[in-house]
Structure 1
Amino acid sequence: MPILERIHLAIIREVDQHGSLTAAADRLHLTQSALSHTIRKLEDQLGVSIWRREGRSLIPTQAGEYLLAVANRLVPQLALAEERLQQFAKGERGALRIGMECHPCYQWLLKIVSPYLADWPSVDVDVKQKFQFGGIGALFGYEIDILVTPDPLYKPGLQYQPVFDYEQVLVVSTNHPLSQVDYVRPEQLTEETLITYPVETDRLDIYSQFLMPEGISPKRHKPIETTDIMLQMVASDRGVTALPRWLVEEYAEKLNIKAVRLGPKGIAKQIFLGTREGDANIDYLSAFVELAKNNRAFPTE
């Protein structure tokens, strides 16, 4: 009989995610005593402790940290394998889980998903934006199958395909003084309210490629989650933001906004699709990547 079983990994993962044996037992539909007994038996067989107590907290030991890393890698893979086998049993092909690290890319994604669903009626599509370990971790952890990102992080086992180019621009209202300039300089934003998506500033191009190299900050930074509200705020002279030019031009047809180049040369970007190298032979996954690369419905600049 093997000592280490899947239930052990599931318990370790749930305790880490939910903070207590009680919460983990609830998630796994076990009694707390049964869960505790399972872990004690494993510790006895291995001759090593998994956790140590600090007050009411359970802190992983070195062995516990190692098993947690194994659990975070294997449990999602096993769950995915079971899900796909169940889909095969029902005559379905599978599910394509797309992770988004590009907030304004939903409009582009819809242009790809619609023909894809028509071409692959036995494949479901799900879109995720929040990941337990970030986008790269979500790929490695089998939370997602494709990562849409403007900032690929190349790691062994992953591959990226560029799907379109775009220019990141400043967005201002048509009444804003900056709407009359050919391009904006960093120092011209020192008195502005800068509206952005709620992500770390070092992952925002307007900070990392425009403001921070010059040691400049806006007067105020206001995070907003949705593109529509963000641009409504800009159109109402409540601030400025930075978005892809193609997206601004779509919204400019119904809102009083204008795109202005960031610096004399602008900020050139690309959108990439990241996948695991081991999934290269999954036909419905590679078909989505090819459709995204070849579909001319998305904007090019």
Structure 2
Amino acid sequence: MSVELRQLRAFLTVAAELHFSRAAQRLHVSQSALSQQIRSLENNLGAPLFSRTSRLVELTTAGEALLEAAPRVLFEADRAVQRVRQAAEGTAGVLVIGSVSTALASVAPQIMRSMRGEFPDLRLELTQMDTSAQLVALAEHRLDVALVREASPREALCVEQLVSEPLLTALPADHPLAEQESVRPEDLAEEPFVLWPRALGADFFDVIISYCRDHGFSPRIVAEGNDVETQLGLVASGVGVSLQPPFYSNLRMVGVAFRPLVGSAPRIALQVAWRRDDTSASVRHFVTAARTVAGPRS
């Protein structure tokens, strides 16, 4: 059985008018062409839809059943067409996004708000992941786009800088160095350090190690935390000091004081990353939103 949407629309027009001539005028077709569409529909369904006399057109029982069902069919068909067009335009569907906690504490909420405002039918799925895990997930098509930190370029990925700001020293609030307006890197030489595990972001880890060595010491790492809340909690409890992106000062962790470093501190970049061969419009929209949000800060 093959029923065409144009036949259903023709049926609904005849059912509304109960007059083939007036229905044909509404549809801008000849009466004979309309009658042929209805006969074809009846043949496909195997039942008469109208009872016709020379003076009267009435719906049959089968016609009444189709009158109830046809509007829903046409509505779903029209919605399916709209969804396909929206998906092609990147305004509907699902976009799976990864983000480091640094971005969640800074640019990510604004990017998400911008996307939701412009593309309300596009479902955004946001997952917190470390940079290294996001790069793998992108390559394996488990993420569509990623907000990463200090990631090196990859052959299969586009990595574009959004924001770059200098590292700050995170100190226990009662630490003597917290009484100063800024901290000299040399003053950290004898301090125990709390850092991220290198496996979660090798590029970021190496930036910190290189900075310390450039100032004559290797940091004595006494503890690591898999997330910033753990690391700042360790700092607050006096386990050690840390070097952190300034975005985390927004968390206002009790017991932690952030102080700038004297001199030229390493700048840590937040970046947006996506697959080079991904041509989806939704990814393009996200990258554009990220650039717009980050623009004034870059």
Pick the TM interval, shorter chain.
0.5 to 0.7
Q: 1:183 to 1:269 in 2, by over 3 A?
A: same
1:188 paired residue number:
188
Q: Determine whether 1:293 maps to 2:291.
A: yes
Q: 2:260 & 2:206 partners in 1: Cα distance?
A: 13
Q: 1:212 to 1:148 in 2, by over 3 A?
A: farther
Residue 172 of structure 1 deviates from its aligned partner by 0.7
What TM-score does the superposition give when structure 2 sets the normalisation length? Answer: 0.58
Letter in 2 for 1:300: R
Gap runs ≥5 in structure 2:
1-79
Residue type at the aligned position of 1:188: L
Give the corresponding residue for 1:237. 238
Q: How does 1:1-301 map to 2 (within 5 A)?
A: 93-100=92-99, 102-108=100-106, 109-129=108-128, 134-179=133-178, 180=180, 182-186=182-186, 188-192=188-192, 194-200=193-199, 202-203=202-203, 204-205=205-206, 207-213=208-214, 216-248=217-249, 250-252=250-252, 255-262=254-261, 264-280=263-279, 282-295=280-293, 300=297
Q: Deviations over 1:261-293 (max 9, x none)?
A: 34521111221111122324x222222112122
Once residues 121 and 143 of structure 1 are traced to their aligned partners in structure 2, the CA distance between those partners, rounded to angstroms, is: 22
**Letter matched to residue 185 of structure 1:** P
Whole-angstrom CA distance in 2 between matches of 1:235 and 1:97: 34
Find the aligned partners of 1:126 and 1:276 in 2 and give their Cα distance.
Answer: 17
Larger radius of gyration: 2
SS in 2 for 1:135: helix
Q: Cα distance, 1:142 vs. partner?
A: 1.1
Which shows bigger deviation, 287-296 or 201-210? 201-210
DSSP 3-state at the match of 1:99? strand
Aligned residues: 209
* Distance (Å, rounded) in 2 between the aligned partners of 1:126 and 1:205: 31
Q: Read off the aligned partner of 2:297 and give its amino acid letter.
A: T
Alignment-derived partner of residue 25 in structure 2: none
Secondary structure at the aligned position of 1:183 is classed as coil
Q: Could you tell me how far apart the structure 2 residues matched to 1:134 and 1:285 are?
A: 19
Question: SS at 2:270's partner residue?
Answer: strand
1:54-74 Cα shifts (integer Å, max 9, x gaps): xxxxxxxxxxxxxxxxxxxxx
Structure 1 residue 215, shift from structure 2 partner: 6.8
| Letter matched to residue 293 of structure 1 | R
> What code does the residue aligned with 1:122 have?
D
Deviation track 1:20-50 (CA, whole Å, cap 9, x = no partner) reads xxxxxxxxxxxxxxxxxxxxxxxxxxxxxxx
Deviation at 1:240, TM superposition (A): 1.6
Instruction: Output one character per residue of 1:171-205: Cα deviation in whole Å (capped at 9) or x when no partner.
Output: 1133212222633325624332x222344384315
The answer to whether the 8 A contact 2:163-2:297 is kept is yes
- RMSD value, Cα: 3.4
Query: Distance in 2 between the 1:235 and 1:151 partners?
Result: 25
Q: What is the deviation of 1:213?
A: 4.6
Cα displacement string for residues 129-156 of structure 1 (whole angstroms, at most 9, x for unaligned residues): 558x843332222121112222233233
Cα distance in structure 1, aligned partners of 2:222 and 2:216? 15
Distance 1:270 1:104 in 2: 10
Q: TM-score, normalised by structure 1?
A: 0.57
Secondary structure (helix, strand or coil) at the match of 2:134 reads: helix
SS at structure 2 position matched to 1:279: coil
Separation (CA, whole Å) in 1 of partners of 2:187 and 2:207:
13
For structure 1, the residue ranges without an aligned partner over 5 or more in a row are 1-84
Change in Cα spacing, 1:224 to 1:158, as seen in structure 2 (3 Å) is closer
Query: What is the alpha-carbon distance in structure 2 between the residues aligned to residue 169 and residue 247 of structure 1?
Result: 9
The percent identity for this pair of structures is: 17
Check whether the contact 1:171–1:258 (CA below 8 A) recurs between aligned residues: yes
Aligned partners of 1:234 and 1:120: how far apart in 2? 41
Q: Counterpart amino acid of 1:260?
A: R
